[in-house]
Structure 1
Amino acid sequence: MKIGIFDTGTGGKLVAKRLKKLLPQHSYITAIDREHAPYGNRSPEEIITLTDAAIQPLLSCDIIVIACNTATTNAIGSLRQRYPDVCFIGFEPMIKSAVILTKSHHITMLATNATKHSQRLRALISEYAAGIHIDTPDTRTWARMIDQGLTDDIALGEVATSVAHGSDIIILGCTHYLALEKRLSHQFPHCLIIEPTVNIAKRISDFAN
């Protein structure tokens, strides 16, 4: 089966690497929109237009994975309407899983501004996270820094504050932030760090079967 993977940079490469390891029997094609990256500070209308243009080389794939939380939360609905015969599977912040897993009822969500302000995320929080405290540190510069190879220079002070105040779950709500996973695990060993690649792989397998 041919799987297309879309992102704006490093996140797509990291997702492709993980999916190839989990599901090596499939072939993979990536479409990376570096020209317009990052999407995280753009309007929903811009994100829809840019994502639609960027996925054109992937439309012949059996599945298109939107490996960008910003594009998923802002554009996947429009894509499904425009291309009803295409199977889109999207990355989005794991709010429901975090709520199930947290013991302190306090979560740290790392996501772009466009994801934070999306209707989709608001709906997820409204449906699953009533009564849960969710901190959203300022990550506006992170995706660009990761694409520039400056991952180690990213300041984690706001994350540390959130954890100090009781957060026990860190949601990686942007695939670029997979590049920070080991560092976060080392710095915050008592927090569970979650991201949906394994869930995405299961959905691909379910579709293939």
Structure 2
Amino acid sequence: MKIGVFDSGIGGEIVANDLKKHFPDATITAINDRAHLPYGTKTEEQVINLTDTAIQPLIAAASDVIVIACNTATTIALSFLRKKYPDQLFVGIEPMIKTASELTRTNVVAVCATPATLKSKRYNELKKSFAADITVLEPDCSDWASMIEANSVDMSRISSVIADSLAKKADVIVLGCTHYHWIYEQITKLSQERAHIIEPTPSIARQITALTAKRPR
């Protein structure tokens, strides 16, 4: 099986490494578009065009599945890609609003995501479907991806966001950008076990297995 992984930056590396554990016999190719970072501050049209252009090597390689390991690209471009390439299997990554709504006991969750993700139609559909009766905090994480990409994370900024979310009684913190997975352990430590920290990486392998099982051989 050929699995392609695309992310705007280094977040896809974590996804690719995780998939290697689940699919040891698969050929996994990870690509990024670091030349056009950050995606999270771009317009929807720009994100769609950049994502479509960037995944062409994975399309050309006849990937069985292409993982869009970027929340911004998933929420904005995935529906476009599925229409343009109807014979290609795609797996996207979306902010885990449904899971957060099921886990919360305080009815307050925090979604750490890029500005583009938070403004996207898909994200707001998820909120409407699964978070209508809870408070969703959307702290300013607009510079997180750039800091992580540059390996110059200012933990005081991260700490301030987490502390403020906890002070507002958030008991679930959603990491809505794969870049943020690189600081998962730090965020978990900052939460002091007062909040669940969730991200979608573990579910990707299950989605790939389910999709490929349905495809005729």
TM-score interval, smaller chain: over 0.9
Within-5 A mapping of 1:74-153: 74-153=76-155
Q: Which residue of 1 aligns with 2:47?
A: 47
In 2, the alpha carbon distance for the partners of 1:106 and 1:19 equals: 32
Q: What does the per-residue CA deviation read over 1:28-53, in whole Å, with 9 as the maximum and x for residues that have no partner?
A: 00111011011000000000000000
Please give the per-residue CA displacement for 1:38-80, whole angstroms capped at 9, x wherever unaligned: 1000000000000000000001100000000000000001000
Which 5+ residue runs of structure 1 have no aligned equivalent?
Answer: none
Q: CA deviation at 1:21?
A: 2.0
Instruction: Say whether the 8 Å CA contact 2:8–2:39 is kept in structure 1.
Output: yes
Question: How far apart, CA to CA, are the structure 1 residues paired with 2:86 and 2:66?
Answer: 12
2:31 partner SS:
strand
Contact 1:142 1:154 in 2 (8 A): no
Structure 1 Cα separation of the partners of residues 176 and 185 of structure 2? 15
Name 2:176's counterpart in structure 1: 173
Aligned-residue sequence identity (percent) comes to 45
Task: Please say if 1:190 is aligned against 2:176.
Answer: no
CA contact (8 A) 1:10 1:176 kept: yes
Q: Tell me the secondary structure at the aligned position of residue 5 of structure 2.
A: strand
Tell me, yes or no, if structure 1 residue 203 matches structure 2 residue 210: no
**What is the DSSP-based 3-state SS (H/G/I as helix, E as strand, rest coil) of the residue aligned with 2:184?**
helix
Task: Give the drift of 1:22.
Answer: 2.9
Deviations 1:77-134 (A, max 9, x none): 1000100000011001000011011111100100000000000001010011111111
Report deviation, 1:152: 4.8
For structure 2, the residue ranges without an aligned partner over 5 or more in a row are none
TM superposition outliers: structure 1 runs of 4+ over 3 Å: none
The one-letter amino acid of 1:64's match is: I
Could you tell me which amino acid in structure 2 is paired with residue 84 of structure 1?
A: P
Give RMSD over aligned pairs. 1.1
- TM-score, normalization by structure 1: 0.97
Could you tell me which residue of structure 2 aligns to residue 155 of structure 1? 157
**SS state of the match for residue 157, structure 2?**
coil
Q: Letter of the 2:10 partner, please give it.
A: T
Measure, in 1, the Cα distance between the counterparts of 2:166 and 2:120.
25
Q: CA deviation at 1:20?
A: 1.4
What code does the residue aligned with 1:53 have? Answer: T
Q: TM-score, normalised by structure 2?
A: 0.93
Between 1:63-72 and 1:189-198, the stretch displaced more is 189-198
Deviations along 1:133-174, one digit per CA (max 9) or x if unpaired, are: 111111111111101111354612122111122101010100
Letter in 1 for 2:84: R
CA distance in 2, matches of 1:55, 1:107: 33
Q: Which residue of 2 aligns with 1:27?
A: 27
Shift in Å at residue 175 of structure 1? Answer: 0.2
Q: Distance in 1 between matches of 2:22 and 2:103?
A: 23
The question of whether the paired residues in 2 share the 8 Å contact of 1:95 and 1:125 is answered with yes
